[in-house]
């Protein structure tokens, strides 16, 4: 029990497919708390049975979270400890629990994380895309207009972008991404992570889409979609392009100078052209 005699609310990560992906501490905690609140009790039953966990189980999902929170806080205030789990992975990450955690913290109750699997982080760790900065977008809206609007806002995002998607919408999402990010943008499709048909496919959207379309199996299961951020020219390269362009522009017409500078630096003609225009205008 907590020193101030309040109970502790444990936020416990559970496997995202492979039952072995649970920590010793998670199992011990799930066995020792007064009750476990789960997103879907039927879904969590096999995991609890597998590890011989007999703790009483209650449901906490998006439709009853607000109404159940008061009763759970009362139990915590009386010194009982509670563990929150979701159907898979880390609770609150595109899963219920935010309201309960917020209210518990407001009430001065200790909330402890028991870290473990999270599909977004597992996918990112094998994507081969920059991980120093990334943004997690979760599920985009199901309606095509709203989805496109969200993607438009991310058109110039330079950080790696992580999405969750359901199998029946995966093709719509990839096609909308192609419309906004273009054929050349690198995307990693992480399907069924830690499960039998785990597939991690990395390719430019223009190649990835026909590959997914050609095999109906690649449209089944659970998906994390990771999009490379927009690559912009580094400051050093911009300085070098500027130096080369200034020499060429002194003797050549703009179009020819841009073509040569693009060949010399290996940078896209459009980027070199934009810089050349800026140089001409200053
Ligand atoms: N809380 C979970 C977590 O920590 O990753 C996410 C829950 S969210 C409701 C479920 C979504 O996560 C799925 O639709 C899918 O996008 C992604 N996901 C969960 N498990 C996955 C897996 N094994 N492989 C790929 N994606 C997965």
242-251 confidence digits (pLDDT tens)? 999 999 999 9
Q: What is the CATH number of the domain that holds 92?
A: 3.40.1010.10
16-28 average pLDDT score: 98
- Residue 110, both tokens: 């200790």
78 strand-pairing partners: none
Q: How far is the CA of 224 from the centre of ligand 1 (A)?
A: 7
82-98 average pLDDT score: 97
254-269 average pLDDT score: 91
Give yes or no: residues 188 and 259 share one domain: no
* DSSP-assigned states of every residue in 72-125: HHHHHHTT--EEEE-SSBSTTSSSS-HHHHHHHHHTT-EEEEE----HHHHHHH
**pLDDT for the residue 237:** 84
Give yes or no: residues 128 and 71 share one domain: no
Is the per-residue pLDDT at 268 higher than 90? no
**pLDDT for the residue 1:** 45
Give yes or no: residues 59 and 106 share one domain: yes
59-80 average pLDDT score: 94
224 strand-pairing partners: 164, 190
Give yes or no: residues 158 and 212 share one domain: yes
Give the nearest ligand 1 atom to 92 CA.
1
Give yes or no: residues 260 and 212 share one domain: no
Is the per-residue pLDDT at 234 higher than 60? yes
Instruction: Pinpoint the alpha helices (H) of 97-230.
Output: 98-106, 119-127, 144-153, 170-181, 205-213
User: Which of 117, 146, 175 is the last residue before a domain boundary?
Assistant: 117
Contacts of 165 (CB under 8 A, 6+ apart): 139, 140, 173, 223, 224, 225
Q: How far is the CA of 124 from the centre of ligand 1 (A)?
A: 13
User: Which of 72, 93, 117 is the last residue before a domain boundary?
Assistant: 117
- For the chain, what is the mean pLDDT? 95
Give yes or no: residues 107 and 135 share one domain: no
**Ligand 1 pocket by C-beta < 6 Å: which residues?**
16-17, 86, 88-90, 93-95, 118-120, 164-166, 190, 192-195, 222-224
Give yes or no: residues 214 and 200 share one domain: yes
**Which of 13, 61, 89 has the most ligand 1 atoms within 8 A of CB, as the residue to mutate?**
89
Comparing 3-7, 61-65, 212-216, the range with the smallest average pLDDT is: 3-7
**pLDDT for the residue 232:** 77
Q: How far is the CA of 250 from the centre of ligand 1 (A)?
A: 56
**pLDDT for the residue 4:** 59
Q: How far is the CA of 34 from the centre of ligand 1 (A)?
A: 27
Give the nearest ligand 1 atom to 163 CA.
16
Q: How far is the CA of 21 from the centre of ligand 1 (A)?
A: 14
pTM (2 d.p.): 0.86
Domain region containing 193: 120-227
Contacts of 55 (CB under 8 A, 6+ apart): 30, 31, 32, 33, 34, 35, 36, 48, 83
Compute, in degrees rounded to 10, the torsion defined by CA atoms 17, 21, 24, 25.
-70
267-274 average pLDDT score: 88
Comparing 8-22, 123-137, 257-271, the range with the smallest average pLDDT is: 257-271
Count of domains observed in the chain: 3
How many residues belong to the chain? 282
Q: What percent of the chain has pLDDT over 90?
A: 88
Q: Which residue has the tokens 């609140």?
A: 37
State the Cα angle at 241 between 238 and 243, rounded to 5°. 110
Comparing 53-62, 74-83, 86-95, 228-237, the range with the smallest average pLDDT is: 228-237
* Structural contact between residues 16 and 95, judged by C-beta atoms closer than 8 angstroms: no
Comparing 153-157, 196-200, 273-277, the range with the smallest average pLDDT is: 273-277
**pLDDT for the residue 136:** 98
Is the per-residue pLDDT at 231 higher than 90? no
Give yes or no: residues 128 and 221 share one domain: yes
DSSP SS3 for 161: strand
**Which of 101, 116, 123, 164 has the most ligand 1 atoms within 8 A of CB, as the residue to mutate?**
164
- Residue 229, both tokens: 């951020």
164 strand-pairing partners: 139, 224
* Structural contact between residues 101 and 146, judged by C-beta atoms closer than 8 angstroms: no
Give yes or no: residues 95 and 178 share one domain: no
Chain segment 171-212, per-residue pLDDT in tens: 999 999 999 999 999 999 999 999 999 999 999 999 999 999
93-109 average pLDDT score: 97
Q: What is the CATH number of the domain that holds 162?
A: 3.30.950.10
Q: What percent of the chain has pLDDT over 70?
A: 99
Closest CA to 177 of 211, 154, 210, 202: 154
User: Which of 65, 84, 117 is the last residue before a domain boundary?
Assistant: 117
Q: How far is the CA of 88 from the centre of ligand 1 (A)?
A: 7
Q: How far is the CA of 57 from the centre of ligand 1 (A)?
A: 22
CA distances from 214 to 2, 57, 210, 226 (A): 56, 43, 6, 20
């Amino acid at each position: 029990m907590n020193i101030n005699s309040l109970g502790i609310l444990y936020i416990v990560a559970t496997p995202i497919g492979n039952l072995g992906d649970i920590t010793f501490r998670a199992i011990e905690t799930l066995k020792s708390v007064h009750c476990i609140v789960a997103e879907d009790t039927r879904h969590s039953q096999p995991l609890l049975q597998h590890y011989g966990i007999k703790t009483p189980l209650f449901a906490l999902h998006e439709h009853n979270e607000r109404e159940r929170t008061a009763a759970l806080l009362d139990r915590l205030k009386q010194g009982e400890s509670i563990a929150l789990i979701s159907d898979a992975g880390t609770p609150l990450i595109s899963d219920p629990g935010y309201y309960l955690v917020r209210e518990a913290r407001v009430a001065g109750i200790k909330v402890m994380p028991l870290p473990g699997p999270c599909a977004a982080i597992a996918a990112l760790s094998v994507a081969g895309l920059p991980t120093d900065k990334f943004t997690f977008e979760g599920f985009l809206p199901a309606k095509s207009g709203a989805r496109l609007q969200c993607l438009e806002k991310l058109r110039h995002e330079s950080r790696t972008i992580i999405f969750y998607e359901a199998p029946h919408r995966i093709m719509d999402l990839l096609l909308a991404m192609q419309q906004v990010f273009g054929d050349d943008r690198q995307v990693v499709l992480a399907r069924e992570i830690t499960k039998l048909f785990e597939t991690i496919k990395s390719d430019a959207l223009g190649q990835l889409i026909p590959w997914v379309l050609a095999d109906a199996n690649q449209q089944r299961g659970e998906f994390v979609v990771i999009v490379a951020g927009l690559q912009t020219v580094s400051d050093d390269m911009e300085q070098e392009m500027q130096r080369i362009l200034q020499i060429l522009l002194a003797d050549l017409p703009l179009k020819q100078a841009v073509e040569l500078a693009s060949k010399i630096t290996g940078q896209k003609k459009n980027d070199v052209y934009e810089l050349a225009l800026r140089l001409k205008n200053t």
